[in-house]
Homo-oligomer: A and B are copies of this chain.
Amino acid sequence: MLTDIRLKDEKTIVGLMSGTSADGIDAVLVQMKGTGVGATITVRAQETLKYTAAVRAKILRCQGPSTTARDITLLDAYLGELFAHAVVHVCRSAGVPIAEVDLVGSHGQTIYHHPHPEKMPGYAVTGSLQVGNAAVIAERTGITVVSGFRSRDMAAGGQGAPLAPILDYTLYHHASRGRIVINIGGIANMTTLPAGAEQDGVHAFDTGPGNCLIDMAMEKFTDGRMQCDKDGLWASAGTVDDALLKRLLDHPFLTEKPPKSLDKDTFGPAFLGGLLTEFSDRQPKDTVATLTAFTVKSLTAAIMEFALQTARYEEIIVSGGGILNPSIMEGLRDGFPKLILSTTDEYGLPGKAKEAVLMAFLANEAVMGSPGNIPSATGAGRPVVLGSITPGQRVLELLRKKK
């Protein structure tokens, strides 16, 4: 029962994330004490369950405004099954019986995100559609599931993103040290945590591409044999092409004032395709080196412009797949010799697990009735409780009730 879960001093929570790149399901199992700013989180297991090529293709086909109700309904139920499987899997990997898990937080797979108000009779509306049915997860696992985290922030006038800042704030805000938290996934984003700041002093926005351009280029150059520039080897073997880099750095997104966010397409396949055609005489390794430099330069420019100019910062904490690329990390280190550069791993949070941990964190906040958004990051009118709670129900509970 929900009341029992709320009263527990420590909870065992599974977090599930499936990003728009549809590579697979990131699952974590964490122990969590407390709530909000007072929360502590320990990651006990982390797993990535890759989608099969067929499932990935199906998901990619189902992203976008014109996907049909039939596809949405069936994919909703189907991903619910796969997410339930991921819960079972990460529990096994942690050596935790599934009956000991208190909550699952599941982001779902985004089908369509519409953050800009659309006029309809009497109301202007926004919305975000994720699939991966919570009732299916709850029924297969018996665990209470929290899902649909973006809708409430949007109902309160926000863009439903970014959601990570509350976790960044909880884990890394510091009374006397200013910190910048960066996540380098497909897209790169940052959260600023000035020393001693309250939640309303937190800002967050996308800075530009993370690994997306590099990954797509690698896949193209190797005919699909490599999906990323492992250990940044191509980048370090190549030479940055000044003309190509200049072209990239001229992208208008870089000078837009935050809050700002990128959609899937801005630095998507079409953008890269046009670029590779125009600069087709470059060596592949030089191109990869240049795309890597672009990720670094857009990050350092954003840090310079939108963080260091307004407050003092002592540390940059990095998470996401980008931490595995030494070319990116060295670029950041060179850019800010006076700042400490660390990774969330050093703070006990595996960089790749961050978004799944966020889902576990938000599940706890929902059940405890604590707000999960930071209005200065999403644009919402107020802090609101995020997500809907689908009650778990174990067979044993039912038997007890019957008696």
Residues in A lying within 8 Å of B, measured CB to CB: 1-3, 6, 52, 54-55, 64-70, 72-74, 76-78, 80-81, 111-112, 114, 118, 120-123, 125-129, 133-136, 138-140, 147-148, 151-152, 154-156, 366, 369-371, 382-385, 387-391, 393, 395, 397-398, 401
Contact = CB atoms under 8 A, between A and B. Distances in A.
Contacts of A371: 393, 398
Contact of A68 (B6, B68, B147, B366): B68
B369 A129 contact: no
Contacts of A148: 135, 388, 390
Contacts of A80: 125, 155
A329 B403 CA distance: 42
12 contacts: A65-B68, A65-B70, A67-B68, A68-B69, A72-B112, A73-B114, A77-B126, A127-B133, A138-B152, A140-B155, A148-B390, A385-B393
Contacts of A151: 133-136
A70 B65 CA distance: 5
A83 B341 CA distance: 50
B139 A155 contact: yes
Listed from nearest, the 9 A-B pairs whose CB atoms lie closest are: A135-B151, A77-B125, A65-B70, A139-B155, A73-B127, A135-B152, A69-B112, A388-B388, A77-B127
Contacts of A68: 65-69
Contacts of A54: 121
A270 to B, nearest CB: 20
Contacts of A123: 78, 81
B369 A73 contact: no
A369 B393 contact: yes
Contacts of A112: 69-70, 72-73
A148 to B, nearest CB: 7
